Amino acid sequence: VPGEQLPLSIGRSPLRRLPARLRVMQPTAVDAPFDDPEYWFEPWWPGVRGLAFVENGELRLRAEGLNDALAALPELGDLAEQLTTDGVVLDGTLLVLDDDGRPDADLLRRRLAEGRGPGRAAFVASDLLYAGGVALGRRAYRVRRARLLEVLPAGEQVIVGRGHVAEGLLMADALRELGVAEQSARQMSARYRGGPAGAAWLRMPTALPGLAPVVTRRPSLALIMRLPLD
In three-state secondary structure terms, 216 is coil
Q: Which of 218, 196, 188, 191 is nearest to 36 (CA)?
A: 188
CB of 120 to other proteins, least distance (A): 6
Q: What is the CA radius of gyration of the chain?
A: 20
Task: Give the helix/strand (H/E) hosting 226.
Answer: none
Positions touching other proteins (CB under 8 A) are 28-36, 43, 64-65, 95, 97, 99-103, 120, 122-124, 154, 156-159, 161-162, 164, 169-171, 173-175, 177-178, 202, 204, 208-209, 219, 221, 224-225, 227-230
Alpha helices in 77-200 (DSSP H): 79-82, 105-114, 141-151, 168-178
CB of 31 to other proteins, least distance (A): 5
- Report the distance separating Cα 210 and Cα 92, nearest Å: 31
Q: Quick one: 87 or 219, whose CB is closer to other proteins?
A: 219
Q: Quick one: 36 or 139, whose CB is closer to other proteins?
A: 36
Q: Quick one: 106 or 138, whose CB is closer to other proteins?
A: 106
Q: Quick one: 86 or 93, whose CB is closer to other proteins?
A: 93
